[in-house]
Structure 1
Amino acid sequence: MEKRVEQLETELKKLKVEYNTLMESTAAGLADKTKPGEGKVKRDMSMQALIRPWGGREDEESVDNFLKNIEMVASCGGWTEQDKTLICLLKLTGASATCVAGFPTLLEPTATLEDYRRILKDRFDPIQSSAEKLLQLNSVGQWAGEKVKEFADRCRKLGEETIPNEAMSMLEMEWARKQALQVTLAAFMKGIRGEIGLPLRYHPPNSFKEAVEAATRIESAQSQVTYQSEVRAVQEGRREGERRYPATTTGGLTCFRCQQKGHCARECLRRRPQPSQARNLQRRPNDAKPKFQGNCYVCGQSGHLARNCARRATQVKVCVCQQPNIEQDPKGRGPMGGPPTGPESFKGPNC
């Protein structure tokens, strides 16, 4: 019996040793699989949709942030260096794409992401001193249509850029950040537009956060008042229209041709007659144009004028000097005292 117990204890020790060896080998295998940089991550190019296109405009992110996003997505997607440069090239738009097109070396397969970083930073991220950035912060202003929080984000970004990039201790960095927040607060209060900035100037807040919250409340109240005034104007205009045009606004459209509601005059079935038909319908026998009342100065007959007389074209013209001394009408209508019956007279060059 004792021998049997000793054999079981010996087998149990062997099993413990084998178990420990198996666990160590399993842990080592898992550690090898999770080691970075050995291509163990599955390559996934669909993650490039997480990177936004970049054109180098002022309202977009900086060059460093754009390239950092590419590196972060590349590490998660298992991209190679060629994949990074290809995605960087495809995501460039506008001025940034034009800039890269001017450097043929960037289009070669040997180009790296650092080459893109160097050229894009030289073009879109000029080196500015802290004084220049501080001057830019002091001259910042709210754009037309820009919300208060959007303007605050822009001021905060410029304020962070005013902090020097020098090696400083924790106390110095904290002090520089506090000073930057004070300067950012002053620039925010100065650059905000309209009536929103007046209460902030009358009662200056103690921190940048308080200033943003107060300006946001004023903006919300002002937009609510504007909305109510617009609604009131629409309602008053509707009442004015109902008062001036009751048939049009309350009872529907009224036709001015048949006096029926529900349609306009141009849609009325009772069409107006054609102009020729209207003239024929309106013409009456007694409505004829009255004839000329008077005598013609050429033939002496009534019913027409001298310019329409048939005898005027065939009449022989006689010079005045060859006619007897008769007093003539100064308007050339023949002798005074009655209509002419003879040939038409005129003045010659020797008269």
Structure 2
Amino acid sequence: MAKVRISSDIIKPFSGQGDVVAWLKKVRLMARLQQVDDVASLLPLYLEGDALALYMEMEEEDQGNIDLIEARLKQAFTDDAFSAYRKLTMVRWTGERVDVYANKVRQFVRLTGFEGAEMERLTKLAFIMGFPDVISLELRQAPNVEALTVGKFLARARVLTTTGNESQNVVVAVRPPRSVGASPTKSGPRTSVTCYRCSIKGHMAKDCRKCGTCCYQCGEFGHWARDCSGNATGDKASAPAFSLTKM
């Protein structure tokens, strides 16, 4: 019987990368649809790289047995139970379609060796906990959550992932701009006071940066009376004399 080759647009060559189990299922499906009985002769046409090298190392009589070929490929290119479980604990929803994410979770659960009710339970737990906290919490608060199947959670997760975060209220505190020249205090900026030295509002004379501190002993700016150099010798500096002159 002549070998039948199916278009590579339908079945992509397998080199050892990706899900070998899913790929083998696709080969089986296309062979059945194309009514190909000798799948063992068809499958090697779509192997390349490491996968093809592995096939070529098989005994010639084993190369004619599709079950042995599949078993050898699965043994070489699937994770063991420990590796699959480790990947399962790290899988997270990253924005893809919920059904695609659920299938990824189920794939790792299957590789860990769980079956039946335990497989369903582990899939449900990993599926829910892989979502961001907001979505995960919504799913966990569903009524009768323990009895719900993954299929039931899929419908709810589709809604939660498509409506976005509209339920989350974000409060942004906006601080009003500070007035130019204002000096903030515990009760707010001081805008009512006016410096009698420079006539600028917003500060008092004692805080005037333009005038500085004024010594009442000598009348000079830049120091207080207690720091006046006249006190160091016990002599008080005489206050400056002011005269009134008629204009």
Give TM-score, length-normalised by structure 1.
Answer: 0.36
Which one has a larger percent helix, Structure 1 or Structure 2? Answer: 1
- The structure number with the bigger radius of gyration is 1
Q: Which has the higher contact order (CA 8 A, sep 6+)?
A: 2
Give TM-score, length-normalised by structure 2.
Answer: 0.48
